[in-house]
Amino acid sequence: MSQLELLSDSRCFGGSQRRYRHQARELGCSMVFGVFLPPAALDGEVVPALYWLSGLTCTDENFSQKAGAQRRAAELGLALVMPDTSPRGAAVPDDPEGSWDFGHGAGFYVDAGAAPWASHYRMHSYVVEELPRCVEAALPLNGRRSISGHSMGGHGALVAALRHPGRYRAVSAFAPIASPSRCPWGQKALGHLLGPEDEGWQQWDATGLLAAGRLAWGSAEAGGAPLPILVDQGTADPFLDTQLHPQALAAAAAAAGQPLTLRLQEGYDHSYFCIASFIDDHLEHHAQALLG
């Protein structure tokens, strides 16, 4: 178990907004992540945690600084765990073309199998396995988890829930890249990280997983039923038609029998203004499952 180094600790709505650093074995580098602990956790209770996966170009700080989630999380008694979006450091390969949509800040939450990416770009195993082990061993968390995210992080959250039945109590997403195998962002990233399309792309595509009959099952303790998925998508999102494909996700869910609510939010775009507007709904969606 890697040692957690506390980098900052700021009082927030009676709780604590923290940043930690540790050595991530899955990624082969040092990683920074954020944690919000609600007042209940500071008073000696162990609490459930929502894991939030951010999008392209983001770090661990975008959600903590822009979403406004801490107030309602403090009231509900939820911890928030906010990893970075990719491995970092001089030893970690970056996009050789220097573009913003791949490499550092754009790990795509998959486990890479192609060189030179495979030795570091294992963000899926990091956020699903390694990071929860670390924070649940070191902090007052009770092991009940849910997962959510935005854009690339929404893709990561959906794939994590679909690939790991029983691991999460709830799942949601804002403007997820719902089918990366059919959009330019995803095709570029998966091509680098995984290799040619016939080498398992559909195993990292939420729409493809649903089409293959994979559902987001809840834990046996929580009843073992498919988890209802909540997705918010702005209608003024400039990436809606070219990159996100939420209607394909909804159609695949309906065909597979996966409960999914897709809310089209009129006039909202791809920014954190949309997330801040509806984050309370998502926190309550997660709290209903985590605290029940």
Which amino acids are annotated catalytic? Answer: 151, 237, 270
The region, left, alpha or beta by phi > 0 then psi within -120 to 50, assigned to residue 171 is beta
Q: What is the DSSP string of 215-255?
A: --B--TTTTSPBPPEEEEEETT-TTIIIII-HHHHHHHHHH
Helix (H, G, I), strand (E, B) or coil at 117: coil
**Phi and psi torsions of 80, nearest 5°:** -120, 130
Neighbours of 43 (CB within 10 A): 10
The answer for residues whose C-beta is within 8 angstroms of residue 153's C-beta and 6 or more apart is 52, 53, 54, 55, 58, 85, 109, 173, 176
The region, left, alpha or beta by phi > 0 then psi within -120 to 50, assigned to residue 56 is: beta
Maximum Cα–Cα distance for the chain, whole Å? 51
| d(C-alpha 240, C-alpha 56), whole Å | 15
